[in-house]
């Protein structure tokens, strides 16, 4: 038997924090789909470097281009304004050992704040775009802005699509599966899976990739 969840927030769903279902769709915690975590880096209008710890994204393309499709980017953020102004951004993949430092940049993100200093990250400059990059990242992905779309039309979040222009990969991550997949590789966000029977909330989880089979 399947549990059916409809478009309206179920009355028995309990939020993990008061504003949870103002910020996120209840479908997110119904499905609990894991997505990769990474840092978006841009320049603020005053020249300070900005870090945005983000997920809710996918990466794909065809022979003509490769795209970073970032969903759920809040329109009130520095990052959104920076991408609109600069028409570019850098995506930085870091292992789970950097999680706490990335969270620090969420809590200290005023306009005048150097968020690289907050996270104790080494600033490097992107090769093909005007954006800062995190030297400690094992992959840096440089993107120019392709498209912005407010899917809901509510002015809350936007889908931002970047066209990848350049990728830098640390030498030790350049061959085979290790360490790119494992504790030193990509970290994943698992949105807090709601208990669909009782409606009780859960904590979000941070995971790493464990390869089970080669195709």
Distance CA(39)–CA(75), nearest Å, equals 17
Phi/psi for 89 (5° steps) reads: -165, 160
* pTM for this prediction: 0.96
**If you ran DSSP here, which 8-state letter would residue 189 be given?**
E
- Amino acid 178: pLDDT: 94
Mean pLDDT calculated for residue range 130-144: 98
Phi/psi for 18 (5° steps) reads: -55, -40
Distance CA(16)–CA(149), nearest Å, equals 29
Write out pLDDT tens, residues 28-70. Answer: 999 999 999 999 999 999 999 999 999 999 999 999 999 999 9
Q: Per the structure block, which two tokens stand in for 178?
A: 């290790």
The CATH number of domain 33-207, selected from 3.30.465.10, 2.40.50.100, 2.30.110.10, 2.40.160.20:
2.30.110.10
- Amino acid 170: pLDDT: 98
Write out pLDDT tens, residues 174-214. Answer: 999 999 999 999 999 999 999 999 999 999 999 999 999 99
**If you ran DSSP here, which 8-state letter would residue 174 be given?**
S
Write down the domain spans for the chain: 33-207
Phi/psi for 155 (5° steps) reads: 75, 20
């Amino acid at each position: 038997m399947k549990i059916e969840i409809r478009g309206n927030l179920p009355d028995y769903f309990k939020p993990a924090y008061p504003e949870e279902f103002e910020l996120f769709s209840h479908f997110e915690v119904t499905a609990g789909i894991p997505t990769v975590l990474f840092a978006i880096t841009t320049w603020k209008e005053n020249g300070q470097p900005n870090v945005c710890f983000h997920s809710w994204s996918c990466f794909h393309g065809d022979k003509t281009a490769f795209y970073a499709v970032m969903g759920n980017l809040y329109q009130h953020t520095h990052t959104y304004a920076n991408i609109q102004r600069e028409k570019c951004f850098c995506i930085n993949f870091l292992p789970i050992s950097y999680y706490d430092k990335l969270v620090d940049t969420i809590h200290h993100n005023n306009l005048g704040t150097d968020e690289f200093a907050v996270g104790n990250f080494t600033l490097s400059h992107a090769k093909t775009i005007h954006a800062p990059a995190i030297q400690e990242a094992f992959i840096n992905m440089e993107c120019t802005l392709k498209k912005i779309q407010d899917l809901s039309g509510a002015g809350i979040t936007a889908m931002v699509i970047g066209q990848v222009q350049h990728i830098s990969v640390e030498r030790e991550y350049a061959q085979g599966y290790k360490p790119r997949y494992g504790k030193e590789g990509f970290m994943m966000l698992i949105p807090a899976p709601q208990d669909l029977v009782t409606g009780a909330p859960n904590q979000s989880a941070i995971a790493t990739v464990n390869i089970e089979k080669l195709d």
